[in-house]
Amino acid sequence: MYRSHVLICGGTGCTSSGSQKVRERLAEELKAKGLENEIKIVQTGCFGLCALGPVMIVYPEGTFYSRVTENDIPEIVEEHLLKGRIVTRLEYKEGAEITEPGKNVSLNDTNFYKSQLRVALRNCGVINPENIDEYIARDGYMALGKVLTEMKPEDVIQVLLDSGLRGRGGAGFPTGMKWKFARAYDNDQKYVCCNADEGDPGAFMDRSVLEGDPHVVLEAMTIAGYTIGASQGYIYVRAEYPIAVKRLQIAIKQAREYGLLGDNILGTGFKFDIDLRLGAGAFVCGEETALMTSIEGNRGEPRPRPPFPAEKGLFQKPSILNNVETWANIPQIILKGADWFASMGTEKSKGTKVFALGGKITHTGLVEIPMGTPLRKVIEEIGGGIPNGKKFKAAQTGGPSGGCIPAEHFDVPIDYDNLIAIGSMMGSGGLIVMDEDNCMVDIAKFFLQFTVDESCGKCTPCRIGTKRLLEMLEKITKGQGTLEDLDKMEELCYYIKANALCGLGQTAPNPVLSTLRYFRDEYIAHVVDKRCPAGVCKHLLKFVVNKEKCIGCGLCMRNCPANAITRTDYIAPGHKLASVEIDPEKCVKCGVCMGNCKFKAISKQ
């Protein structure tokens, strides 16, 4: 028995911040103090507060340490683990209600966690993802046992239908309906697929589930295999997720050793196995038919539908495909019942949703909230608001396939239907926050550049149409656009949506349409006034010197990479002062001068 457990995040975010070195140093210090048999180190998945990594939690106190370095370890061991005194300088307190001086602050005391409800993420940051016994200790594989011994396939489908679970990959199609269609087709072979090819910029929800709780995906896929009559499953995971790939490999090996994958699972005679397939990072392979084509060993391009995968999917056999977050909900629905899951969320969007918070937000990280939670609550309470006193301008949901939610819809309850109604979409769960310093024309251009690069080129509306859209946006951000271009862009957007082959092309115009809808005044400023209100678009920028503030120190001049700044004299009333001037012809709009000026004498217009 251990008297203390030290949980250290082993997710990608904290690993990149040095959590592995922290873990190794802690093991060395514990051994040096003779504490290795009293205190257990547990490597976990993501806790959610990614910007605060490396994160460490000490139990049974529940003390939450943030931004821990290997040099902090001796103090933590000496003071906390030996003497029982919390190292307050490392303790995270922001957003926590501290009613007594010196009170221990736990993770659940923080505003970041108070409004969350963790279902898909319930084991992330709690268990060692590389230890199957810890997953089993948290009711792991009990849902599979219940399904194989107590339920018929039709019963499983009915539970999913009654729960109201919709696909978390973006489209929101009812999961139970998808499984029902696949079961209805007779064939000698069927397949179960997991979409772990998370490609949206700023999205890391599925990666975190795989890194923190890989067995939940294996269990859910095995349940699906039993339900639709499949014996083989594939997890299509991008190769850029090395930690997730490693933990999936470990989990599959462990599940096979425990008889939870392979032949005669749990002695029931049911046969099902899972293999990994690594994606090369093509965004289009997030589309179900392109993903299946890639698993087959072919170039990842979408296929026309119908027939849908439930009839002819992988290797032309009946198949189902769900994304990681969808799978992560299923074991809990089986164990706790459809009514439990349906009690969360809204009428048409049940359960919870995981979001990756990024952009201009205080608490960058991973959150899981009940469907219907207002956007304002997510950003201001959970996310800690916009840093540096800036104003909220918009939130981008759904990545390149989604749209921007403006400040006028700050209180919109987040669910599938509400987001579609205001011109956005749920998507897989990326939520990028923007403030007053963001240019919405530039944001639309950024996402369209991504789509143009990722288009597979199979259909003309996507291959050519998105390229023409991007050209018009580039023209506008250079101050060369016309009002006629805005009308042409809108017309082209609707043409692409109506004629593109797959979901990538059909949703590619969404960022343009939503910014035209809510921020047309910014487009008009670029076109008519030849200026960027946010001061982002370089071709429309001009850096000017306030000569009354400038003292002529020359710091900007010495750091200018284009030699565009020269010293001059400024005649003030009764005084002759040194100053500088910026040559607009030589200026490359890099902003180095403004960043180096200690007197805030340089501004952009």
pLDDT at 96: 47
pTM as predicted: 0.91
Residue ranges of domains in the chain = 4-110, 132-342, 352-435, 440-529, 542-604
Give the pLDDT band (50/70/90) at residue 111: confident
User: Does 99 score more than 50 pLDDT?
Assistant: no
Task: State the pLDDT confidence band at 426, using cuts at 50, 70 and 90.
Answer: confident
Compute the average pLDDT of residues 83-107. 70
The pLDDT, as a whole number, for residue 104 is 64
Q: What is the pLDDT of residue 318?
A: 97
Task: Please list, in sequence order, all residues whose beta carbon lies within 8 angstroms of the beta carbon of residue 353, skipping any fewer than 6 positions away.
Answer: 168, 368, 369, 371, 414, 426, 429
Q: Has residue 590 got a pLDDT over 90?
A: no
Which structure tokens are listed for 528?
């008519």
Q: Which fold has domain 440-529?
A: de novo design (two linked rop proteins) (1.20.1440)
Assigned CATH topology for domain 542-604: Alpha-Beta Plaits (3.30.70)
Strands 430-435 and 352-359: parallel
Interstrand relation of 365-370 and 352-359 (parallel, antiparallel or unpaired): antiparallel
Domain 132-342 coded CATH 1.20.1090.10: no
What number is the average pLDDT over the span 11-32? 94
Question: Residue 281 above 90 pLDDT?
Answer: no
State residue 103's pLDDT score: 60
pLDDT value at residue 266: 95
Q: Is the pLDDT of residue 100 over 80?
A: no
Q: pLDDT value at position 604?
A: 83
**CA–CA separation, 569 and 578 (whole Å):** 5
Percent of the chain with pLDDT strictly greater than 70? 97
Determine the straight-line distance between the first and last CA of the chain, rounded to whole angstroms.
65
- Position 574 confidence tier, pLDDT thresholds 50, 70, 90: low
Give the tens place of pLDDT for each residue, 385-394: 999 999 999 9
Q: What is the mean pLDDT of the chain?
A: 92
Does 85 have pLDDT greater than 70? yes
Element (H, E) at 593: helix 592-596
Separation CA 452–CA 577 (nearest Å): 52
Structural fold of domain 352-435: Ubiquitin-like (UB roll) (3.10.20)
Three-state secondary structure call for residue 309: coil
| pLDDT for 464 | 95
Q: Can you give the pLDDT at residue 575?
A: 57
- The answer to whether residue 362 scores a pLDDT higher than 50 is yes
DSSP alpha helices (H): ranges in 343-422?
375-376, 416-421
Tokens for 103, please give them. 């009170």
Judged by average pLDDT, the poorest of 82-96, 206-220, 271-285, 402-416 is: 82-96
Q: What are phi and psi of 154, to 5 degrees?
A: -65, -30
Class of domain 4-110: alpha beta
Res. 329: pLDDT tops 80: yes
Query: What pLDDT was estimated at residue 125?
Result: 93
